[in-house]
C-alpha cells in the first residue's frame, strides 16, 4: 500500500494536466510513497493520449461521458491502494513539499481526518481555500462579493475566510477546505460514502461537515502551497454552461445550508435562504445575459 493516492479529475485540459503532473514529479515527497490516478471525463483534446505517452506511470480511468467531479473522484478513490487520498484539481501546480506536509500533519494527529493546502493564484495572491460554514451574511460578504472587494478587512470577511490565521505558520482548524487540494484519510472517506454524488457545487462543505459531525477535525496548512488556475481547467465554458454553473451553485448552497443547520421543512430560515439565494442567482443570470448579448454583437 502507498502512502498517498493523488486523484485528479480532468476534462479537455491537456496543457493544465501536463504541467500539474510535471509539478508532482518535481515535488519533494519526503520519502512518502505515492500513486497517481487520473480520471478523464470524456476529453476530446488528446489528454488521455498525452498522459499515456508522457506519464506512463500514471493510472488512467477513461470515462465515455462527463460524470462530473464527485462521481469521477469517487471512481479514482475506488481504484486507489493508499492510506490517504489527495484530491487535486487538474489546473494546479504543486509547490515543494506541499503534499508531504499534509501527510506529516495527519500522521502526527489521528483526530485530524482532512487537511487542505493553501491555494494561490498564479500571482501568489490568496484564494482563501479554508473557510467557515456560510451564514446568510456571507451571501453579501462572500469571497467574490462586491462588499469583499470594497471592504476586504471587514470582520465578517476576515472571520469567514480565516484571513488572520493564514498569516501564521501553524495549521489551524477550519470548517471546510477546497477539494482542489484536499487530503483525506482512506477510512473516513469510505465511512461518509465519499463525495456526495448528488452535488456539483458545495460538495466540499458537505463532506467536511459529515466528517466533523463524527467528531473529527479539518485543518488548513498555510505552509502547504499550491498554485491554482481557478476556473481555467475543464475547457472553455460557453453561455449555457455558465448559466448551469450559476443555477447549480445557488441550488447547492441552499441544500448545503439546510443540511448543515438542520432546517426543517417549515423553518423561517429555510424560506429566507431560498428567497435570498434565488434573488442573488437571478441577478447574476441577468448580468450574464447582458454580457453574452454584448459579446455576440
How distant is the alpha carbon of residue 136 from its chain centre? 21
CA 198, CA 29: separation in Å to the nearest integer? 34
Which residue ranges in the chain fall short of pLDDT 50? none
- Is residue 284 included in any domain, yes or no? yes
Domain boundary among 195, 228, 261: 228
- Is residue 234 included in any domain, yes or no? no
91-to-12, 20, 175, 195, 234 alpha-carbon distances in Å: 11, 7, 24, 20, 8
Instruction: Give the SS3 label for residue 10.
Output: strand
pLDDT score recorded for residue 149: 61
pLDDT score recorded for residue 17: 97
Within this chain, do residues 174 and 260 fall inside the same structural domain, yes or no? no
> Phi, psi (5° rounding) for residue 209?
-65, -45
Query: Beta strand 217-228 with 92-94: parallel, antiparallel or unpaired?
Result: antiparallel
Q: Is 193 exposed, middle or buried (0-12, 13-18, 19+ CB in 10 A)?
A: exposed
pLDDT score recorded for residue 152: 60
Within this chain, do residues 167 and 40 fall inside the same structural domain, yes or no? yes
- Is residue 233 included in any domain, yes or no? no
Domain boundary among 204, 228, 252: 228
Within this chain, do residues 171 and 33 fall inside the same structural domain, yes or no? yes
Tally of structural domains, the chain: 2
Within this chain, do residues 209 and 97 fall inside the same structural domain, yes or no? yes
CATH code of the domain in which 105 resides: 3.90.550.10
pLDDT score recorded for residue 275: 83
The cell numbers describing 291, all together, are 454580457
Within this chain, do residues 142 and 263 fall inside the same structural domain, yes or no? no
pLDDT score recorded for residue 230: 83
Within this chain, do residues 185 and 282 fall inside the same structural domain, yes or no? no
CA 178, CA 269: separation in Å to the nearest integer? 26
Within this chain, do residues 106 and 29 fall inside the same structural domain, yes or no? yes
Taking the whole predicted model, whether its pTM rises above 0.85 is answered as: yes
Domain boundary among 180, 207, 228: 228
Within this chain, do residues 105 and 201 fall inside the same structural domain, yes or no? yes
pLDDT score recorded for residue 229: 95
CA 53, CA 21: separation in Å to the nearest integer? 13
- Is residue 105 included in any domain, yes or no? yes
Question: In sequence order, what E strands does the chain have?
Answer: 2-10, 34-41, 59-63, 82-89, 92-94, 112-120, 130-131, 172-173, 176-177, 181-185, 217-228
- Is residue 80 included in any domain, yes or no? yes
Question: Torsion over CA of 100, 103, 109 and 115, rounded to 10 degrees?
Answer: 100
- Is residue 131 included in any domain, yes or no? yes
Within this chain, do residues 191 and 267 fall inside the same structural domain, yes or no? no
pLDDT score recorded for residue 242: 85
Instruction: Write the DSSP string, 160-218.
Output: HHTTTGGGSSS-EE-SEE-TTEEEEEHHHHHHTTSS-TT-BTBHHHHHHHHHHTTT-EE
Within this chain, do residues 133 and 248 fall inside the same structural domain, yes or no? no
pLDDT score recorded for residue 138: 59
pLDDT score recorded for residue 223: 97
- Is residue 25 included in any domain, yes or no? yes
Which residues form the domain of 215?
A: 2-228
Within this chain, do residues 129 and 149 fall inside the same structural domain, yes or no? yes
- Is residue 91 included in any domain, yes or no? yes
Within this chain, do residues 188 and 256 fall inside the same structural domain, yes or no? no
pLDDT score recorded for residue 165: 92
Amino acid at each position: 500500500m502507498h502512502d498517498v493516492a493523488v486523484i485528479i479529475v480532468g476534462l479537455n485540459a491537456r496543457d493544465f494536466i501536463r504541467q500539474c503532473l510535471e509539478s508532482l514529479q518535481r515535488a519533494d515527497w519526503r520519502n512518502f510513497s505515492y500513486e497517481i490516478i487520473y480520471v478523464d471525463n470524456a476529453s476530446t483534446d488528446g489528454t488521455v493520449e498525452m498522459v499515456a505517452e508522457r506519464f506512463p506511470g500514471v493510472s488512467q480511468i477513461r470515462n465515455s461521458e462527463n460524470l462530473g467531479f464527485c462521481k469521477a473522484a469517487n471512481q479514482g478513490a475506488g481504484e486507489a491502494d493508499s492510506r490517504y487520498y489527495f484530491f487535486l484539481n487538474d489546473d494546479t501546480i504543486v509547490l515543494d513539499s506541499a503534499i508531504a506536509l499534509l501527510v506529516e500533519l495527519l500522521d502526527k494527529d489521528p483526530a485530524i481526518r482532512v487537511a487542505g493546502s493553501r491555494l494561490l493564484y498564479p500571482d501568489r495572491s490568496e484564494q482563501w481555500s479554508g473557510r467557515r460554514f456560510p451564514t446568510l451574511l456571507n451571501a453579501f460578504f462572500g469571497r467574490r462579493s462586491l462588499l469583499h472587494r470594497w471592504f476586504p478587512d471587514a470582520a465578517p470577511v476576515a472571520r469567514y475566510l480565516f484571513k488572520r490565521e493564514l498569516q501564521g505558520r501553524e495549521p489551524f482548524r477550519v470548517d471546510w477546505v477546497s477539494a482542489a487540494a484536499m487530503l483525506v484519510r482512506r477510512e473516513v472517506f469510505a465511512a461518509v460514502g465519499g463525495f456526495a454524488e448528488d452535488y456539483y457545487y458545495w460538495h466540499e462543505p458537505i463532506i467536511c461537515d459529515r466528517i466533523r459531525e463524527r467528531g473529527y477535525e479539518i485543518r488548513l496548512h498555510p505552509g502547504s502551497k499550491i498554485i491554482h488556475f481557478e476556473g481555467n481547467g475543464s475547457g472553455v465554458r460557453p453561455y449555457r454552461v455558465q448559466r448551469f454553473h450559476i443555477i447549480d451553485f445557488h441550488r447547492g448552497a441552499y441544500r448545503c445550508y439546510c443540511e448543515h443547520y438542520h432546517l426543517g421543512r417549515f423553518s423561517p430560515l429555510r424560506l429566507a435562504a431560498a428567497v435570498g439565494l434565488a434573488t442573488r442567482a437571478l441577478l447574476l443570470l441577468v448580468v450574464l445575459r447582458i454580457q453574452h448579448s454584448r459579446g455576440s454583437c
